[in-house]
Structure 1
């Protein structure tokens, strides 16, 4: 979980001085940049995320979607709630852009150390980086449970090594420790305001991965993250940044090629390349797994169509693999490496997604402080002001990098945002159209229960709306002229919490004449398993036996129309997404030989 922010020293300080807006290698600039990095970590990571936002957990879960679900659950039907939802969805869309750039920049920057350790290997950097990336995505299908056993020890060794290298360099130039003082950061802005502002676009690379700490909170818990960050990771990172600053003060421009690798003696640079590459792979693994988790949450919350989700561990529910997401990420990461070619070029695209997500998290935090926690204005407003100034400055500085690569995460973010909002809006319109044409269930029971022939067994009709008669039931009666002895009208609902207690899973209503309305509730992290849920229902006559149960699904073919719901192009996009969605049979784990699908056409 600390892999992303932990690999930032490989390129963050180098890019600040040698990137698109070069800085002079004098004491004022070196001390100013190191001071900015330290206080950015303290304000953004330690104060904002680790100390405050992590308190806003949704039943122990963190991340933009979990925070959005928490806020939305408390602010439904408010005038500004739609704006909050759109902000949260856009933060999620930006995360996908970040999950494409992180593997590319982390692995490429680590492998570039080969050219520092042995200049003759420079031509092999790109082929080796691409081979590592392909291998990294290829192993996702088999799961990371076994590989994960090595993640912790490797990262412990990595942080210990970079801290040691930093201490050795600091010992040679101890005056670098004065950079802890915030007045050097202020002096940097007073000395060269424009350069200092532009430098923020690279300084922010030191805190990339801060939002990942919040997203991973559900896996590790709030306190372990706080303790690890404050007492181990933060000191290790700052010792290394200080060491790099001391090295630049001593050697000047020759050290700027790669101050991270040049901290090590020449004989130890190649082993450091291997260690840094392993850490970069772990950082990439964390963001890939995060993309799977975010996708699963977005599916459950109704922002993404059903996709095939495979479990890679029988013991850990959170270890999942989504083939479509995995291979799409691989293609995009390889294209990034080929197109940008160096980690220096890639860092231009890196900051936009991170700073945008951080700024949106601050907006959501505002709602949390005032509406959920009811914090007093006299200290919540100054605190939020600090966060908005810092996040706003970083985001504005990164906007200057849009022409040189920052356009990529913005483009990806807007495309994915369009997909997410189109699916959410189209799905709601489809449910509304079906509800408009639905027959009241009581009228249906009175007219059909006595006239139709009843056959033995149980029929479960899946319906997205808990009102009216499912289309599949109407079509079945129309074509087959029969009704089963026991009919279940089943609706799956996803709650705004990660998990739903087993005792609250099922709600049941007896509609008379063998008809029952059933609603199964799941959290947005849980995966619906209809047969397992039915096996635990004992209040609906005889126990459910899959051999006697048939599941009826309705598959809609959408027709674009002139209804005012969405523009035609978005209706066609939604129809395409619906056609390519995972079958409800597999998604809800229905037995393959007990499912009947009945089709219908619908205009939205």
Structure 2
């Protein structure tokens, strides 16, 4: 098991977790209270409702974040890894061999992964925009410049991605420590002037507030849920920092700072209801407004960085699980395998973020869209956790139901609350998630049809190579590696090589790469070798969805299995299939055309598997699906 806690001191990991994991939930005070008492909710701005709303926020942080994520879900690690894809693999494995249940859980997990992309668009947009809007508090004259400044910050943020996070990562933690320190300090200053807000610590006030809302409860929850966005990051980043540092950072600094600050905003509004226009920035003296805007912008950029990096990791995992086509992956750190940059994903994400910024125009308008994707993902996480608790941990059924039913009810209420904002912008992340889900489903189904077509047309491998060994064929004193998806049929590249070049290499490796739904495959289990006939071997290379594929490195492991491969005398033959959509029993014609388009534009297999450029030969073939 790979455990991130062994890679460095716990204190350093805790500091790093503060910078990456808690940036999103830590910047929620910029807009949450303002939205709870905004015109859309209709909640009266008086002492009773302020105490009740802040009490709901506080106890929501205690139940949804602390109890559910910090104490329960962080225990559901997949070989030390977390996140919706890791949990999906864990739940599917725990569900046993029942095909229908396994497929259902995989579909649910893929849906959660697709919705994650909606969060990846909205988090940078709403966070950075809400921070820059603080300029309007300094003087209304800055209002025309808010969108251009926000655009400039976002473009700079995404342009910086190609340099990687390693150079600036060590500064993220200290900045966020300062941020949470400022949250706590400003909260204490306001509570000291209006200590009546401390009544929010009484859970009865939260219950009374919710009970008094009636059916209006869901409207209120639709705004209150903004305080919990970012909770998924606790679980998603567990593999990078370890469980303990994430738990200690939450209980030691983040939770106290957030609780104090939310009560501070409530205290401010009890004294000065006019501060609702921007309660966060109105907590600062006028002389401190510009530094506060700068600090808030830095904090939101850091929060955005975490989501962008998570989007890269999610995309790579989806690629290796066969849900997305290959895209270029650049490793930006020689030490940390998780620090990657994906140019295609980066620029598509920037375009989507800028469209969201200009489409919604303000953080308040965007807040209506922000939340629904997060809450659905939270609900999916809880559902998947039930199968881990019941089948994986073998807890009794009543205890498994008790440990997850409460959170399913809470998450379900939050989903319903956010669904009320569908026409105010909630459709945006759902449509985006549905589109990405369709892309994933089309790519996976298209690959199945493609491999099925290849199996029908290609001869079986073993009889074919047995016949070759009996022929007098000119042998080339090199090693040929034929990468194939189906190890039981003859590679197209081998057939073309024999037909057109009429030569055979002395050593021929039929190579298949298998990606598993576990994060890591250790080196001792990485390679499996099966001798076929003289001069032919079938080699399987196994990777987890967090491993970095490196075929030359894997081939060096074959020496322990009796094959000494000289990498300087090795040629790699790749088959490139040109997909031809046809009407038939496969997919709808428009989906087949979509698959053909994705296949044509898929990333280079040589780059993906780190093959040396001067040793690769690509041979193409047309395949109907």
Deviation at 1:541, TM superposition (A): 5.6
Partners of 1:445 and 1:513 within 8 A in 2: no
Alignment-derived partner of residue 220 in structure 2: 199
Partners of 1:358 and 1:391 within 8 A in 2: yes
For residues 539 and 449 of structure 1, do their structure 2 counterparts lie closer, same or farther at Cα, with a shift above 3 Å needed? farther
Aligned to 2:42, the other structure's residue is in SS state coil
Moved more, 560-569 or 175-184: 560-569
Deviation at 1:542, TM superposition (A): 5.8
Q: 1:186 aligns with which of 173, 184, 207?
A: 207
For residues 19 and 152 of structure 1, do their structure 2 counterparts lie closer, same or farther at Cα, with a shift above 3 Å needed? farther
Partners of 1:23 and 1:195 within 8 A in 2: no
Partners of 2:530 and 2:538 within 8 A in 1: yes
Deviation at 1:432, TM superposition (A): 2.2
Does 1:516 find its partner at 2:537? yes
Aligned to 1:429, the other structure's residue is in SS state helix
Moved more, 102-111 or 260-269: 260-269
Alignment-derived partner of residue 262 in structure 1: 282
> In structure 2, what is the Cα distance between the partners aligned to 1:379 and 1:176?
37
Aligned to 1:350, the other structure's residue is in SS state coil
Deviation at 1:92, TM superposition (A): 0.7
Residues 555-593 of structure 1: per-residue CA shift (max 9 Å, x gap) = 111111233232211111111111100111111111111
Residues 72-116 of structure 1: per-residue CA shift (max 9 Å, x gap) = 233344322211111111111111010000001000101111111
Aligned to 2:510, the other structure's residue is in SS state strand
Alignment-derived partner of residue 108 in structure 1: 129
Aligned to 2:531, the other structure's residue is in SS state strand
For residues 163 and 545 of structure 1, do their structure 2 counterparts lie closer, same or farther at Cα, with a shift above 3 Å needed? same
TM-score, structure 1 normalization? 0.98
Within a 5 Å distance, the mapping from 1:119-158 to structure 2 comes to 119-158=140-179
For residues 338 and 409 of structure 1, do their structure 2 counterparts lie closer, same or farther at Cα, with a shift above 3 Å needed? same
Does 1:220 find its partner at 2:241? yes
Does 1:601 find its partner at 2:622? yes
Q: 1:240 aligns with which of 257, 261, 266?
A: 261
Partners of 1:349 and 1:409 within 8 A in 2: yes
Deviation at 1:482, TM superposition (A): 1.9
Alignment-derived partner of residue 94 in structure 1: 115
Aligned to 2:280, the other structure's residue is in SS state helix
Within a 5 Å distance, the mapping from 1:384-533 to structure 2 comes to 384-451=404-471, 452-533=473-554
> In structure 2, what is the Cα distance between the partners aligned to 1:565 and 1:371?
35
Structure 1: give runs of 5+ residues left out of the alignment. none
For residues 389 and 487 of structure 1, do their structure 2 counterparts lie closer, same or farther at Cα, with a shift above 3 Å needed? same
Partners of 1:189 and 1:197 within 8 A in 2: no
For residues 444 and 74 of structure 1, do their structure 2 counterparts lie closer, same or farther at Cα, with a shift above 3 Å needed? farther
Within a 5 Å distance, the mapping from 1:158-177 to structure 2 comes to 158-177=179-198
Partners of 2:476 and 2:503 within 8 A in 1: yes
Moved more, 224-233 or 371-380: 371-380
TM-score, structure 2 normalization? 0.94
Q: 2:599 aligns with which of 571, 574, 578?
A: 578
For residues 72 and 432 of structure 1, do their structure 2 counterparts lie closer, same or farther at Cα, with a shift above 3 Å needed? farther
Partners of 2:94 and 2:388 within 8 A in 1: no
> In structure 2, what is the Cα distance between the partners aligned to 1:137 and 1:405?
24
Alignment-derived partner of residue 590 in structure 2: 569
Does 1:55 find its partner at 2:53? no
> In structure 1, what is the Cα distance between the partners aligned to 2:563 and 2:170?
46
Deviation at 1:66, TM superposition (A): 0.9
> In structure 1, what is the Cα distance between the partners aligned to 2:295 and 2:241?
24
Aligned length in residues: 603
Q: 1:559 aligns with which of 559, 580, 588?
A: 580
Moved more, 170-179 or 27-36: 27-36
> In structure 2, what is the Cα distance between the partners aligned to 1:562 and 1:126?
48
Aligned to 1:596, the other structure's residue is in SS state strand
Residues 107-151 of structure 1: per-residue CA shift (max 9 Å, x gap) = 010111111123332222111111111100010011121211211
Partners of 1:19 and 1:344 within 8 A in 2: no
Partners of 2:481 and 2:571 within 8 A in 1: yes
